[in-house]
Amino acid sequence: MSGRRLRRRAASTVMTGVVVLLAGLAVLPLLLIFGHLVAKGAASIDLNFFLKTPVPAGQTGGGVAHAIVGSGIVVGLAALIGLPVGIGAGIFLAEYGGGRLGWLVRFVADAMNGTPSIIIGIVAWTWMVKPMGHFSALAGAVALAVILVPLIARTTEEMIRLVPHSLREAALALGYPRWRTSLRVIVRTALTGIVTGALVGVARVAGETAPLLFTALGNLNFSVSLSQPIQALPLQIYVYASGPFEEWHRLAWASALVLMGLVLVLALLARWATRTRYGTR
């Protein structure tokens, strides 16, 4: 009897330990990746890194100014196209999404969120690059926008759903028409959440490489033209990491550190903004 109880107690303790161990093991890669990014990338981040463009392969020096500016252009344009559509669709889902159409849009949004980004890349190629005859920053932006829309639609919906029902009731009781209630009261209350959701979504597409491979293509030179191929940080990392030169690897680590820093800052910002607003669980 007591032997059996002892065994069960021991089993419980052991399994708790195993769970803790597994959880630790799952988080370990993140700490390792951060550690390596800082260890291998931090030393290369200086003014040149941000202000210069690449030097010919094999030489040392140079920076990734063209990729940073390019990423800014492509991602900014993608946000310009994708955010209004995504936020509008999110408002629809939260305000009118109870019926069959709402179910369909929600399902499609989730399906699109699960679509491999490389697929979006080749579809955007058929939409933009094939008819236009050349790769362009615009094509890259369209590809990223297609990824952004369903992402933003779902987060916007969730943020609007968090707004207490009483607010809507109060506004409607005061005689506000429905659209004003929605825009001026509900969406406005949820605005912090929507904006942070948008920021996080934008940060995610900023890290995407696959959709840009056949749309923005990449460019070794500084370019700001929307109709020309353009470089982006993730593309740059891919090329540099796969290349044979020490110098390229050095720049790849530094670029990755910058990209990761951007993602981290936005994630922290999102966490902070939603926490102060809605409290914690």
Partner 1 sequence: MTTTATPPAQPVPAAASRPQLHPPPTRANHADRLYRGVVTGLALLLPLLLITQVGELAVNAWPAMRRFGLGFLWHSTWDPVAEVYGAGPLIFGTLVSSLLAVAIAIPLALGVAVFLTEFAPRWLRQPVAFLVELLAAVPSVVYGLWGIFVLIPFLRTVVVPPLRAVLGWTPFFSGAFYGSSMLAGAIILAVMIVPYIAAVSREVLLAVPESQREAALGLGATRWEAVWTAVLPYGRAGIIGAVMLGLGRALGETMAVTMLIGNRHDISASLLQPGYTIAAAIANEFSEATTSLYLSALFEAGLLLFVITLVVNAMARLLVWRVARGRAVGSRAL
Tokens of 122: 């080749």
Minimum gap (Å) between residue 79 Cβ and partner 1: 15
Rounded Cα distance, 36 and 34, in Å = 5
Q: Which is nearer to partner 1, 28 or 51 (CB)?
A: 28
Instruction: List the x/- string, 76-105, binding to partner 1 by CB under 8 A.
Output: --------xx--xx-xxxxxxxx--xx-xx
Interactions with partner 1, residue window 162-201 (CB under 8 A) = 162, 168-169, 172, 177-180, 182-183, 193, 196-197, 200-201
What is the DSSP annotation of 140-153? Answer: HHHHHHHHHHHHHH
Please check whether residue 193 is in contact with residue 91, taking contact to mean a CB–CB distance below 8 angstroms: no
Cα dihedral 48, 45, 219, 113 sign: negative
Interactions with partner 1, residue window 219-278 (CB under 8 A) = 234, 237-238, 241-242, 249, 252-253, 256, 259-260, 263-264, 266-267, 270-271, 274-275, 278
Instruction: List the x/- string, 33-52, binding to partner 1 by CB under 8 A.
Output: x--xx--x------------
Tokens of 27: 């988080």
Among residues 209, 219, 223, 231, the one that binds partner 1 under rule CB under 8 A: 209
Minimum gap (Å) between residue 70 Cβ and partner 1: 15
**Cα-based angle 77, 262, 53 (whole degrees, multiple of 5):** 70
Tokens of 68: 């940073």
Minimum gap (Å) between residue 55 Cβ and partner 1: 21
Would you give the DSSP letter of residue 230? B
* Site for partner 1 contains 116 (CB under 8 A): yes
